Structure 1
Amino acid sequence: MDWRQLLADMLDLQANCFTSINIESCFQIYVATLLASGRKRNIVEAGNILQCHNTGWTDGNVSYLQSVQLVLHAAMEYFDSAASASDPILDLAKMCLNLITDENEEIEELLDLIAALQLLSDFGVNMLPVQVRVCSERLKLLEMCIRSKPMAYRNTQRLLQLAHKLHVCGKDERLQEGQVLVHIAEAALKAHDYQFCAEICQQLVSKSHTIGWQVVQDLGQCHEFSNLRLRCDLLAFALLYCPVDVIEVVVNTRSSLQVQLLSDMIYKQMKDDTSVEEEEFCDALTSPVSPSREFAGPVHVVEEWTEMTKNATYRLLNNIGNKSFWKTTFSWMQRNMSDAEIMERNCLIMSQGFPAFYSSLAPGCHISSFSTQYDRFSEPDICSPIVLLSQALLRTILLQGTASAGTFIDCTNVLLQLAEQFLVEDSSLGLGHILPLQDLTLSDGCFNSMPCTSIVLQLAVYYCAIQGYKQLHSTAEEGRTREQNVYLFTPSELVQHMTGLASKHEVEAWAELLLKYENILVDFQQGQQLQGLECGVDLQRFAYDMQYQQDSILGLAMTVDIEKFFFAVRLASRHGVPLGEVAARHLTALVLGSEDIELSELMAHLANPQLSELLKTSPHFVCDRLVQYAFPSIEGSDHQLLLLYYTVLQSIAEDYITYSLTPKEHIKLLRKVKATSPNIDYKKMVDPSNSLMEVLLPALERNNIGLTVKLLKSMPASIQCMIQTGELYAAWAQKEFFKIPNTCDPPSTKDWLQQYKVCAEYFNKMAAAHVVDFVKGTCFSECGVDIIPSECRTAIVTQAKEYCQLKVIHPADDGRDEWTEAVKTLTHWLAHLEVVRSLEALEFCRGLNQQGHHLLRLFDVSIGEATHVQELLQSAVTSDIPLDSLKILISLIPTSAKTLEDCLDNLLKEAIEKIKCGTELEGSQLLSAVLRRMQDNLQCGASAVPQEVEALCGDASLTPEIRLRALELLQSLKPHESKSDTVLLYHHIQATIASAWPQPPIKLQETDLKTPESRMRLFSNLLNHAHTWQQIVILKDLLKKWPLFQDSSFSDEPTNPWIQLIHRMLTFEDRKMDDVENALEDILQHNNLSPTSIQQLVSMTEGTTDLPLLLLLCLLPNHSSLHTTATSLTQKYLHADSPRLSDRLLSLLLQKGLAPALIATPAYSQMIEHMLTETACDLPSWNTVANQLVAAGNIAEAGTTMLLHMGVSPALAVFSAALALAKGTSPEE
């Protein structure tokens, strides 16, 4: 049908005949017809005429409002005509509705209704669409969905989505969500799915849907739901929104649940062994208490609660009287607090606490946090779990007692716990909890567990006073009247009165505790005085920590303030701290803390009569403490402070001796030292464990050398000064010699000789040995060798020798022999310098690395002395310098061993001796180096080694590396001597096993190598204990050195050691492919294994070993049967996605002529590619490979191979060309 023609005809009729009809009506009729035509194409065409977007005016032929109405009418007709949710006509309805692009409420509602049809169908509710649309109570549709399937209520989100699409409750989305959740929760509860119901109820609670209180209450009262805490929370919500007539029932149910929760909570913390005997239970029930308290609610409610929890709480209530109950019950609520938290908690308990109602009567106290606050209208916020639990227990006990006709269980421990919490916040209430207790030791434990503060101690004293007053006046008739008036006395009056009576009743508990707490309170107040002095004392610790008391008192004594000191003395007298210790700490502070104090002020301080009297009691004890505390903190060069220190010692005890000197002698010597040099460390000087020369040397200068000599001469005899004057001058001269002014250029020979002249002026004060020491310390010291030229050192030694020769000619007294010996020494040193400067030394240094220069430097410093020369030889042998350079160095060194062999022989004996003497590490290093040098010497033509080397091979005390090196040395020396082959092989195997196996599996004997059977047993044992690849490789090397297994039983059978070793290599997990390939090539190249053995080995490992290893095992031997096996393995296991074969395997496959057999495998293309890229001479020629292919009937492949070899492009290597070329190549052609 031509719709456009129809529209034209309609417009023509309107213009000519029906002029009363406007054009817009024509278009509306036309569009309505298109929309109702049932064709999607016509609906799209109608959309081109309609105004789909509201622009405020009419853009097309149909206005926006009329367009919406036409679309809605057409969609409604389609919707009502649909037979089901899956009717295709609904798609036409949605297509009509989607023509309007603006948001429209009616259109959105109809679209949601269409979407809801599918959701209803998913739930199994099949209705006509028109029935859904005209349904006035669409919530029933939701109920039908929930009832449609047993678990339909679990589809919460889909049900909520369905309610949204159905527009349940109109536009009120909150009411809509609440209604849906309520129906879901009711369905879950009815299905006994309590957990899911609880989740939905929690949503109702969290979103405050008040309409859900009924289902929430039902779940809270459901006894089958085991989550008691959640039930309590749900009932709290129901209690908030339920009607008035239901409140009582909900309250009762919730209260019973709370009691049950309390019981469960406590039982979880109790141990299984907290049960007690029935006799103890009876004792716990013998102290009834009847406190006066009002309870809300009728009595029958209490009886109902008690009956419900009777069975669950019976053991709990009886165990409250057991001491172990509280150790287990409250342990979960108490955690370890840090020191900062403890201090913060203690600082809060600085005043009494009262309820806000009584705050005007106690202005200096704080308001209790457990009472109602007047600054806000709210109940008290009790955050303490102990208080909450204790109050709950007390309430439970009282409920049980009420239900049992007034028989109450002993609640002493509950009262103690509550008292401990209330004493801080509400003192009166706290005392009221413990005053009924008869056993005062329990109350004592309560106070001991609280922080030690002034308020707590005062409450403890007041409590003990009340208890004492009640006990003293509990019998007489008039006493009862006074007992009733005890609380009318002021606390201070009552405490003062009872303290006076306590001394007469010390045996009674109240008196003992009263005196105890008064003493603690006095100590605490003294601690407060300490704190007032700003000494940083922790009052709480000072009250109960005895060690802290002593440390605080001694710390207070360490002051220059005399008043603080005498306060510390008073504290020490009270607390039993030794007064001598206090005085010593005070004097230590005087000495160390008074840098600007004058000596006169110090003496005036020490002259204080009280201090003098105190020091006379134990003078030597005080001096010992001063030596212990003050002396270590004084610098040895602080001569003024040391004078002050020894003056204090002298004022205390003149006969006190330190370092063999009295204080007076110390003062006298100190003044001399101070006058000599301020840099002398006096403490080190008088200490006999120090070298006096080392102490004086840093302070020696040209201007004080004379004073230092006088100081040495005036040393007290007890110091035992052994330093000679010349020795001191020599030491100073060595120091002075190197004091050259710093300039940009290094010092010249002239500068050094000038320094020598300055020092030589003091030679007349030295003996011959001292002059020699000076020359040695300057020219042959580490510093001198580095910075002084050798020519200059030669000149200095020459001048020193000339000076000594003059002394020989003109000797003083009897010193000719000493100067003659000095001349000989200096002559020897000149010869040593000549050697250092010789051509041989220069040749030794030429071409060597830094290590060689270091050896020559060590030789220079050694001056040819025997000890240093021996150390030099050891360093040279252990170094990496060449053998020729080592020979040159030995020729330079003045030693008895002039050849390398003699030197190595001596060092070998020395290394062995060191190992025997215990220096094993050093001896082993030297021995290893000597053997290495001997090996190098043999390679250079030497023909003998010391006899000691052979003994090293079997020495088990040496490391395996050294023994192996010795074996190599002997084997290289005697390669053809069969006499010692077995012995050397035995030693070699023994050392190898020791190096490869940290814990050798066997103890090797020589007999293990004599027969094939014994060697086979040894091999099997080692193979079983080879757990690393290195051990397997070492075992292979050992097997190569062993004699051949000639016995047929070890040749071709699986017992062949080589077959066993190869099998272990193939099955070993922790190894690298390259290492295994190299090992296999080594074995197969040097051993002729039978094809049968290899074939059996391949069959055993075929399924577990990598293909390249199996191919290598088959290709290395020249056996055609193994090559055939290699071909089969390749065809079976090599696939297109397999890793590429190695170049070595590809070469072997080509060499064995296996290319034709593998033409159908990926190996063929790899072989051709290998031939194109490799130019190795061991590969067959291209013609050879082509002939092999032609002989196998692969003519085309042979031709293609030749074309590739000739460089023809693969695109030109067509079949005909390849075939022609192959026929020309074929030998038959």
Structure 2
Amino acid sequence: ANEGLEKQGCHPFYESVLSDPFVTESTVTYDPHRPVPGESFAEVLLRTGKLAEAKTEGEEVFPTTEVLLQLASDALPNDMTLGLAYLLALPQVLDANKCFEKQAHSALSLQLAAYYCSLQIYARLAPCFKDRCHPLYRADPKELIKMVTRHVTQYGHEAWPEDLVSLTKQLHYYNERLLDFTQAQVLQGLRKGVDVQRFTADDQYKRETILGLAETLEENVYSIALSLAQRYSVSRWEVLMTHLEFLFTDSGLSTVEIENRAQALHLFETLKTDPEGFHKHMVKYIYPTIGGFDHERLLYYFSLLESCHCADLGKYTIKPETHIRLLKKFKVVASGLNYKKLTDENMNPLEALEPVLSSQNILSISKLVPKIPAQDGRMLSPSALYTIWLQKLFWTGDPHLIKQVPESSPEWLRAYDVCVKYFDRLHPGDLITVVDAITFSPKAVTKLSVEARKEMTEKAVQTIKHFIEKPRKRNSEDDTQEASDSKLTYADALHHLEKSLAHLETLTHSFLVSLKTSEQEVLRKYGDLYDLSRSERGKVHDQAVAMCLDGLPLRMIEQLLQVAVGPLDISPKDVVQSAVGKIVSALSGCSADLGGSGDPLQVLEGVVAAVHTSVDQGEDLVSSEDLLEWLRPFCADDAWPVRPRIQVLQILGQSFNLTEEDGKLLVFFRTEAILKATWPQRQVDIADIENEENRRALFTELLESSHQEAEFQHLLLLLQAWPPMSQDSVITSSPWVRLMTGMLTRCAAENKDGLGNEILKICRSLYNTKQMLPAEGVKELCSRLLSRSLLLPALKLLLESRDERLHAVALEHVTAVGQVNDSNCDPELLSLLLDAGLLAKCVSTAFYPHMVQHLLASPQRGPWDAEGLAGHLQDAGHVAEAGSLLLAVRGTHRALRTFSAALSAGRHWV
């Protein structure tokens, strides 16, 4: 009750004296049966202290400050007069601030604090009577606060005694707080979501709130924002700028309404005083919110910059006054223009102009473009404008000149004739651009016949010859513009178009016709690419390289180079060398567009195959020696990973019948690459690998020094890179057996299962190769695996062999297993046992039920014939097992699979 001090608490006796006081209910109702409320601890403590002080006759003074503060805090909500009396009794006047700061911030509590300070100041300046009540305490508190405040503010702090300076500061502080609170109450009444408590205490929030209030169209709120800004020293310029930003961005007003309101409020009289700040805010906050098609608002925006003297501020490529002139013209002739895109330094202005160009406005706009900068900083030329318009005119038509988009060759030629009439507006370089866009673009290839394109080019040639013979009159400004915008002459343009004409003539060549009419999409694509190339050396070279990377025949590439208008000075050898360079770049980790799959090794295989075919056909274009020469630096560079270098060499070795010396060199490169990656200290030369004996010696040396899994992996690569070695009479001398034995004995034991799987993987990689282990080698390796308790991979190796003796060894180990678990059995092993036809021989083993379950669980029963397996069981004397298997295979319920039923089924079905 009244904890917020919203009302003045008083004793019921004085209730009629005050307006709307707070009276405690317990003090109003007198009930004889209700016990008297007990005294508070603070009251008892104060009385006791004063009694003790009286007993010592004042020799021991009782410290009353904390007790009086507590009594005042307790009394203020219920009896403000009593609370004030407690505070006036404090020994130190300023200690009362502790009590006031604890109270809720209300108008009443802040007034009480100011009243307390006023009483204390007045009492010190005019001491009170001691024998009777001074009129000071009967004065109206509000009038007293005003009088004392007015009196102390007339003079500086130095005019007052030291003890009054602190009191005057406190009085000023509470007056300010009261004013803040009153203003905050007004804000709260506006229902704008203002936090009154925070507004009173937080200066940053106060500033943001005032600026936020300025973002309104309500006159009373706007006036309050201005008065608050003046009261709290917030810049009036900032408030007005915020209001202007609001008008542009969120007010929803039209440009005319914004202009009228800004004039009515006299915004710019103040905003003009800081042109730099005005320019900064306009550019940063207002310009981004204006749409590029809103010419009216953009015009007003630039008019404000001009009128507020911002023309010399910022880095303008176009001055505000120029913007104003341009916008006034564009509003009339090109209302659909995105003006912001047109003047954006990071965009091509011609792209913004192209959608709005027509025969009706091209002349007007051509007079404006010299004031518009291009991306390179130079001003646009009318010729550049006509360049993009003529392309648009030809391909999409015009409501007045070409009313319908052409469809037939005669219609396209008539459209071209319309365009030719404007060629005299083009600089030579731009004329080339237009003719190329019409005759050598993807649209031209699909929509125009070759004959039509040739006729168009011939007309352009005749037009240029006419320009050369009869130069048109130009003024000096045109001459200067042309000299700065174009380095090409009409003679250059004539040469360009004559080459275009020669290129178009080649399109009738049988080779090109076969490409463009081929059923293969890739060949048609290359036919179109050649068509668009204009026989330009760079484009033809890139196309030939792309064809090479796609694995197309070298003869086809040679024909392409022969057909093109020359001289190009490009040979098939140059093309293949460039293609190999791209592949090497991709293998080296650099970005390179290889087309197709993008896998550089697959692409290399295609290139090598094409070269191989060319050599086999007797074409003297590229040799295997050339390929080796281009790839040798990559293969010999140990900065790149080993595996791709080995694969490159293997691709070469598989495709060409290399000479003995080349073969040795390939083996040497492979060996050197592997050794540099893992044994960099071991220098290898060609003598180390020139024969099998030396290779064995090198292998033995490296094997003895190997202890890590990575080293054994590189030994594996080494054996794969070398030619197969002859079979040893002693199987333990086989390099493969020695390698895997070394892995088993020297690699870390904690990954034993992974090691076994790795051995299995290596052996499988040798299947169906010249290096495949013989049966004795498999048996020896399995014994090593079994010695390391690696039964599962050992059984798989034995069963994958086609040797019956190894199957028998596997069966012995299967029979010896007492319990089947994950360490000695998996689905792959069960499949191998069934594949080997060992079901009947495993009946007595722990594996048999698992084999049957695996057979039944396999989809479509896998590759196994259930009836055939049942027959093997019966032949081996296991009639009941055979019958049980057939019952299960045929879906008989488990409850019906009795022993007698199984016997009967075995005798009946098998």
- Deviation, 1:426, is 8.4
1:521 is matched with: 178
Taking a change above 3 Å as real, the CA distance of residues 688 and 1095 of structure 1, as seen in their structure-2 partners, is: closer
CA distance in 2, matches of 1:362, 1:1071: 95
CA distance in 2, matches of 1:724, 1:653: 30
2:610 is matched with: 937
Answer whether contact 1:1059 1:1097 (CA < 8 A) is retained: yes
Q: Does the alignment pair 1:1160 with 2:832? A: no
CA distance in 2, matches of 1:416, 1:850: 97
The one-letter code sitting in structure 1 at the alignment partner of 2:407 is P
SS of 2:336's equivalent in the other structure is coil
Taking a change above 3 Å as real, the CA distance of residues 839 and 1142 of structure 1, as seen in their structure-2 partners, is: farther
Of the structure 1 ranges 550-559 and 819-828, higher mean CA displacement relative to structure 2 is found in 550-559
2:426 is matched with: 766
The one-letter code sitting in structure 2 at the alignment partner of 1:1059 is T
Taking a change above 3 Å as real, the CA distance of residues 789 and 355 of structure 1, as seen in their structure-2 partners, is: farther
Answer whether contact 1:623 1:649 (CA < 8 A) is retained: yes
SS of 1:597's equivalent in the other structure is helix
Q: CA RMSD in A?
A: 6.2
The one-letter code sitting in structure 1 at the alignment partner of 2:574 is D
- Deviation, 1:964, is 3.6
CA distance in 1, matches of 2:71, 2:528: 86
Match of 1:639 among 286, 290, 295: 295
- Deviation, 1:1199, is 14
Of the structure 1 ranges 438-447 and 1012-1021, higher mean CA displacement relative to structure 2 is found in 438-447
TM-score, structure 1 as length reference:
0.53
1:538-687 matches, within 5 Å, as 538-557=195-214, 568=225, 570-588=227-245, 595=254, 597=256, 601=260, 605=264, 614=270, 617-619=273-275, 621-653=277-309, 659=316, 666-682=323-339
1:99-498 matches, within 5 Å, as 351-352=6-7, 354=9, 444=97, 454-465=107-118, 478=129, 490-498=140-148
1:963 is matched with: 645
Match of 2:385 among 725, 728, 731: 728
The one-letter code sitting in structure 2 at the alignment partner of 1:1056 is R
Deviations 1:671-712 (A, max 9, x none): 334344323455565666654434433332211111112334
- Deviation, 1:952, is 0.3
Aligned positions, number: 811
Answer whether contact 1:836 1:860 (CA < 8 A) is retained: yes
CA distance in 2, matches of 1:440, 1:878: 96
1:811-822 matches, within 5 Å, as 811-812=471-472, 818-822=489-493
Answer whether contact 2:255 2:297 (CA < 8 A) is retained: no
Q: Does the alignment pair 1:1130 with 2:844? A: no
1:865 is matched with: 536
Answer whether contact 1:636 1:684 (CA < 8 A) is retained: yes
Answer whether contact 1:572 1:579 (CA < 8 A) is retained: yes
Taking a change above 3 Å as real, the CA distance of residues 700 and 984 of structure 1, as seen in their structure-2 partners, is: same
Gaps of 5+ in 2: 54-60, 154-159, 475-481, 616-622, 689-694, 856-860, 887-901
Deviations 1:1029-1087 (A, max 9, x none): xxx6x875554446869899974999932224467799857769998756445568425
Answer whether contact 1:558 1:589 (CA < 8 A) is retained: yes
CA distance in 2, matches of 1:660, 1:672: 19
CA distance in 2, matches of 1:429, 1:848: 108
CA distance in 1, matches of 2:522, 2:142: 91
Taking a change above 3 Å as real, the CA distance of residues 682 and 709 of structure 1, as seen in their structure-2 partners, is: same
1:194 is matched with: none
Match of 2:674 among 989, 1007, 1025: 989
1:840 is matched with: 511
CA distance in 1, matches of 2:228, 2:541: 70
- Deviation, 1:762, is 1.9
2:499 is matched with: 828
CA distance in 1, matches of 2:503, 2:718: 52
CA distance in 2, matches of 1:1175, 1:519: 97
SS of 1:934's equivalent in the other structure is helix
Taking a change above 3 Å as real, the CA distance of residues 1174 and 580 of structure 1, as seen in their structure-2 partners, is: closer
The one-letter code sitting in structure 1 at the alignment partner of 2:904 is A
Taking a change above 3 Å as real, the CA distance of residues 744 and 704 of structure 1, as seen in their structure-2 partners, is: closer
Answer whether contact 1:637 1:680 (CA < 8 A) is retained: yes
- Deviation, 1:949, is 0.6
Answer whether contact 2:799 2:833 (CA < 8 A) is retained: no
Identical-residue share of aligned pairs (%): 24
1:699-1098 matches, within 5 Å, as 699-712=356-369, 722-740=379-397, 747-788=407-448, 792-808=452-468, 810-812=470-472, 818-835=489-506, 839-841=510-512, 843-844=514-515, 853-873=524-544, 875-876=546-547, 896=568, 900-909=572-581, 920=591, 931-940=604-613, 942=615, 943-944=623-624, 945-958=627-640, 962-972=644-654, 973=656, 974=658, 976-977=660-661, 979-980=664-665, 983-989=668-674, 1005-1006=682-683, 1011-1017=698-704, 1019-1022=706-709, 1036=716, 1038-1041=718-721, 1051=733, 1056-1061=738-743, 1068=751, 1079-1082=762-765, 1085-1086=772-773, 1093-1094=780-781, 1096-1098=783-785
- Deviation, 1:628, is 4.3
- Deviation, 1:725, is 3.0
CA distance in 2, matches of 1:1004, 1:372: 103
The one-letter code sitting in structure 1 at the alignment partner of 2:703 is M
Deviations 1:590-615 (A, max 9, x none): 66655263799579648x6xx67646
CA distance in 2, matches of 1:1083, 1:524: 91
Answer whether contact 1:647 1:667 (CA < 8 A) is retained: yes
- Deviation, 1:905, is 0.3
The one-letter code sitting in structure 1 at the alignment partner of 2:296 is Q
2:893 is matched with: none
CA distance in 2, matches of 1:429, 1:889: 111
Answer whether contact 2:814 2:845 (CA < 8 A) is retained: no
Q: Which has the larger radius of gyration?
A: 1
1:499 is matched with: 149
- Deviation, 1:915, is 9.8
Q: Does the alignment pair 1:1142 with 2:835? A: no
- Deviation, 1:947, is 1.4
1:17-96 matches, within 5 Å, as none
Taking a change above 3 Å as real, the CA distance of residues 443 and 676 of structure 1, as seen in their structure-2 partners, is: farther
Answer whether contact 1:1130 1:1161 (CA < 8 A) is retained: yes
Taking a change above 3 Å as real, the CA distance of residues 886 and 727 of structure 1, as seen in their structure-2 partners, is: same
CA distance in 2, matches of 1:1210, 1:538: 94
1:1110 is matched with: 795
SS of 1:520's equivalent in the other structure is helix
- Deviation, 1:373, is 12
Answer whether contact 1:502 1:514 (CA < 8 A) is retained: no
- Deviation, 1:649, is 4.2
Gaps of 5+ in 1: 1-346, 380-391, 994-1000, 1027-1031, 1219-1229
CA distance in 2, matches of 1:765, 1:891: 38
CA distance in 2, matches of 1:867, 1:480: 116
SS of 2:904's equivalent in the other structure is coil
